Amino acid sequence: MKELPVRFLFVHQGYDLYGSGRTFLQSLRAVRELYPESEIKVILPQKGLLYPKVDKIADKIEIDSNLLVLRSRKFSTHPLKTLQKLFLCLKKAKREIECHDITYVNTIVILDYILASWLCRRNSKVILHIHELPTRFVDRLLFSILINLSIAWLVFNSKATKETFFLARKNTFIVHNGVVSPKLYSDPKLYNKQTNILMIWRLIEKKGQGLLLDALNNLAQPGILRVRIVGDAYATISNYKQKLLEIIKEYKLDNSVLMVPFVEDPSEHYLWSDIVVVPSIKPEPFGLVAIEAMSYSKPVIGAAHGGLIEIIEGGASGILFKPGDAFALAQAIKTYADNRDVLVAHGKSARARYEKHFQESFYLDTLGRMFKEIQLGKSL
């Protein structure tokens, strides 16, 4: 008798192609390769750059604008309306989970699916892929309660992310992200009077774009540096880009710093760069940009907290600096600008570390085995 196809449900809180969106696509590809005959349904909150990519893999996509994404501010201030909305969303999420063999929820901010996993039958298989690293104690405690009470298998993208929560669970895994190797990559040039610095991330204050500008302002000769800050802001905080432009003008960095909109394929920027900077004010759960940079043979200057510590070997494949310290960041930039031989050596080490630990094939293989084991009700 022919086996019925495995029915997968994938739920994601975003619609763009920043870190969590690309990780979501990788998880989809892993399942499609492992279960070519499977039925895959995807739920997204709205259409965006992610949609056409998902459409090439999934059998069905549903746009559900009522997903209870914690940071989307969709909750009414009226208690009765909030409870009514929560009840309806929970009912739908529970029905969706129980109609599928395996449900994969990408990030823990999708409240209705986390709560619904409390209510589902014990034979329901739910995976929470956790990319968040909350820093406030109350947030850590709240999310810890939510995930401990759920029936879900927990997948963390770094040791730092896992250690953020207060866990009373055994069915947990740490799976580092991976990225595909670029077709073209090159070591930084040994002889070059100019040093090209790249920061590529969504424009949010906690990502540290302002800190990078402060660091450049601390340098005696910012004119020998060329800096690209690539990314867009959320629509709700679009004034942050204008604030950065004003700082650039105030610091007289107009000839050194260029603000560039987000691009789906950032390879041009990585190939242009000598150094990639990840100056996050708050700890990163992982740091996908860091391993992308390493795949292009670029050394990374990163804040010494969160998942970046698991990626960057300070003094070998990059430089780690004290988080939030503009002077320390400036000194790290100066180290590379003044010592091209160190910059080149660290770039080569970065590529070697990527090849050993962070290739996409490693990530997809691990995810594939995890899905298989969960389907069979085993543990890795």
What average pLDDT score do residues 103-112 get?
A: 90
Does residue 72 carry a pLDDT above 80?
no
Would you state the pLDDT for residue 192?
78
Would you state the pLDDT for residue 71?
64
Would you state the pLDDT for residue 56?
95
What average pLDDT score do residues 80-101 get?
A: 86
Would you state the pLDDT for residue 380?
39
What average pLDDT score do residues 275-287 get?
A: 96
What average pLDDT score do residues 137-156 get?
A: 89
What average pLDDT score do residues 333-346 get?
A: 94
Which 8-state DSSP code applies to residue 282?
S
* Residue recorded with tokens 């950065």: 244
When pLDDT is cut at 50, 70 and 90, the band that residue 189 belongs to is: confident
What φ, ψ does residue 196 adopt, rounded to 5°? -95, 125
| Per-residue b or e along 5-33, where b marks 16 or more CB atoms closer than 10 Å to that residue's CB | ebbbbbbbbbbbbbbbbbbbbbbbbbbbe
Question: 30-57, pLDDT tens digit by residue?
Answer: 899 889 999 999 999 999 999 999 999 9
**Under 8 Å CB-to-CB from 225, ≥6 apart: which residues?**
194, 195, 196, 197, 216, 219, 256, 333, 337
Question: Is 342 within 8 Å of 336 (Cβ atoms)?
Answer: yes
pTM score, whole prediction: 0.88
368 or 343: which leads in pLDDT: 343
Q: Assign 182 to helix, strand or coil.
A: coil
- The residue length of the chain stands at 380
**Taking Cα atoms as reference points, which of 81, 91, 83, 82 lies closest to residue 113?**
91
Does residue 237 carry a pLDDT above 90?
no
**Domains, the chain:** 7-178+360-375 (3.40.50.2000), 195-357 (3.40.50.2000)
- DSSP letter string over 302-362? EESSTTHHHH--BTTTEEEE-TT-HHHHHHHHHHHHH-HHHHHHHHHHHHHHHHHH-BHHH
Question: Is 282 within 8 Å of 307 (Cβ atoms)?
Answer: no
Question: 313-330, pLDDT tens digit by residue?
Answer: 999 999 999 999 999 999
When pLDDT is cut at 50, 70 and 90, the band that residue 3 belongs to is: low
Between CA 303 and CA 198 the distance in angstroms is 15
Between CA 306 and CA 293 the distance in angstroms is 18
